[in-house]
Structure 1
Amino acid sequence: MLERAPQDTQQDGSVSRPVAFRGAGFMPGGGRASGWIALVLVIALWQFAGSAGWVNPLFLPAPSAIAVAIYKLAISGALWQHVSASVVRIGSGWLIGTVAGVIVGFAIGLSTLARGVGITFISALFPIPKIALLPLLILWLGIGEEPKIATIALGVFFSTAISVYSGVDAVPRNLIRMAQSFNVPFHAIVRRVIWPGALPSILAGFRITASVALLLVVSAEMIGAQFGIGAFVLQAGNLMQTDQLLAGVVILSLFGLAVGKAINVLEARLLHWR
């Protein structure tokens, strides 16, 4: 942490005033509890507005009603049935898309030929909404889990490939040339220079792809699934059961927080050198 510079006496006898360091926002540290405090205050205000009758519970149920809905779902076993179905789809699709995206991203970043071909296809196919391909994937793969997993994998693949390629391309070229000047083998350069340099961008891409996978699984389950958080939210919305609908939204939010925490732990282990 930067400390304040000591006061210096100028030639005319006046004392220079040190300038306070204002870059603390770039330093991870204290103040993490402020977000949770703000969240608790918002929930308390929300609960008070619902209890006082300021908000129609049909339009916006109170947090206590949402908690009761989650508890009833957990007791009945329906919660675990929906959550487990969504977790399996997200995990399978994310893993397939991530592995393929990392391979293609490194190929684009390291090979001129792969870059010329890959960038063209990625630029053409990335803007396409992947959920729009679900009917076609159902036609190809049949009705089952495969189209949903394939939809998630496609969405994760393109975002991962772009983040990996960008991370590889951002590695300082002078480090690569210096390693080459010492006759370091190509595989060692990739492992010791390019991989650590691209890792921050890759992990940042993981945060994005986790959100992409969550969005796609909900959309896919709303279109063609009997079980899953997306199917549960759609059913609750059709029946105007807003407490259960928001219960599903809260579960999705908790899942996103858990994934973000897992990536934070991964960054702390892999990026300890920063």
Structure 2
Amino acid sequence: MSSSKHTIRNRVSFMEQQIPAYAPILGILGILIVWEVACRLEIVPPLFLPAPSLILSAGWEMLSSGELHQNILASLYRIAVGYAIGAVCGIVFGLILGFSRWVDAILSPIVYSIYPIPKIALLPLIILWLGIGETPKFTMIALGVFFPVVINTFSGVKNVDPIWIKAAVTFGSSHFSVIRKVILPGALPMIFAGLKLAAGTSLLLLVAAEMIAAQQGVGSMILHYGNLMITTKLMVGVLILSILGLLFNRGLGWLERKLLPWK
């Protein structure tokens, strides 16, 4: 019996071991080393997949000329505005859906029927409605963010334990207080799940919109160098998108830890 308890304790201790902060870096470095060696040995033609050292050299050249930061700033501006609009509208609408059975019964079928439509397919129609400029790009990104946030917020509200709500009402909490102190905190984990899911979607739609209807931006830059078959500079754009995705995820994770310390 004692031996069994000791074995279980060892397994739990092993599972709770802290992962070193440098562990994720090891995986990235390993991939870069294998990638560089494969390119140096010409296992992969440089035109198809340039070595990381050549990509970094091209990135430094683009940074020195000012080309890179202009495209990054244009993309960051678009994604910041579109993401903020989509996230705020999605959270508010998801809370309304979760609180009102009438709104849920009337609008939920509409939300779930529009959600599977590829948003990029709507871009020509959005351009027709809103004209050529930044507004269609903001709208595309906002639509891509809106639906995952709405659905996750709605699910989060519905999954709040009814016992918590009954306990708050029993102790005399007002309707607004129950929403602010019980339902909203209880739904936050699902809301953040939706925000993280929407972050990847927003990058995807940003690139697609910039490739179709933009003169500046990371997506436009990738398309331009792809047409010229300058793959080193094309891969610089892909690397930037990867970094932006990582920063998005880390930033939302940090915000989640601050707002949900109990989680």
Matched, 1:129 2:118: yes
Runs ≥4 residues deviating over 6 A: none
The aligned runs of 1:122-271 (5 Å cut-off) are: 122-271=111-260
- The match for 2:67 is 78
Percent identity at matched positions? 42
Bigger shift: 260-269 or 144-153? 260-269
Give the distance between the partners of 1:211 and 1:68, measured in 2 at CA: 27
- The match for 1:20 is 8
Label 1:272 to 1:27 Cα distance change in 2 as closer, same or farther (>3 A): farther
- The match for 1:11 is none
Between Structure 1 and Structure 2, which shows a larger proportion of helix residues?
2
Report the CA distance between 1:183 and its aligned residue.
2.6
Label 1:27 to 1:158 Cα distance change in 2 as closer, same or farther (>3 A): farther
Give the distance between the partners of 2:51 and 2:166, measured in 1 at CA: 61
- Paired amino acid for 1:19: T
Among residues 102, 109, 127, which one is paired with 2:98 in the alignment?
109
Label 1:209 to 1:135 Cα distance change in 2 as closer, same or farther (>3 A): same
- Paired amino acid for 2:80: G
Label 1:66 to 1:229 Cα distance change in 2 as closer, same or farther (>3 A): same
Q: Which runs of 5+ in 2 are unaligned?
A: none
- Paired amino acid for 2:175: F
Report the CA distance between 1:81 and its aligned residue.
1.1
Bigger shift: 62-71 or 200-209? 200-209
Give the distance between the partners of 2:228 and 2:93, measured in 1 at CA: 44
Give the distance between the partners of 1:17 and 1:182, measured in 2 at CA: 42
Label 1:194 to 1:29 Cα distance change in 2 as closer, same or farther (>3 A): farther
Matched, 1:57 2:46: yes
- Paired amino acid for 1:76: S
Report the CA distance between 1:148 and its aligned residue.
0.8
Give the distance between the partners of 2:20 and 2:202, measured in 1 at CA: 30
Give the distance between the partners of 2:197 and 2:15, measured in 1 at CA: 21
SS of the aligned residue for 1:19 comes to helix
Give the distance between the partners of 1:52 and 1:253, measured in 2 at CA: 26
Report the CA distance between 1:48 and its aligned residue.
1.4
Q: Which runs of 5+ in 1 are unaligned?
A: 1-6, 9-14
Label 1:162 to 1:24 Cα distance change in 2 as closer, same or farther (>3 A): farther
* RMSD value, Cα: 1.8
- The match for 1:273 is 262
SS of the aligned residue for 1:45 comes to helix
Give the distance between the partners of 1:125 and 1:134, measured in 2 at CA: 14
SS of the aligned residue for 2:6 comes to coil
- Paired amino acid for 1:20: I
Give the distance between the partners of 1:83 and 1:25, measured in 2 at CA: 43
- Paired amino acid for 2:84: L
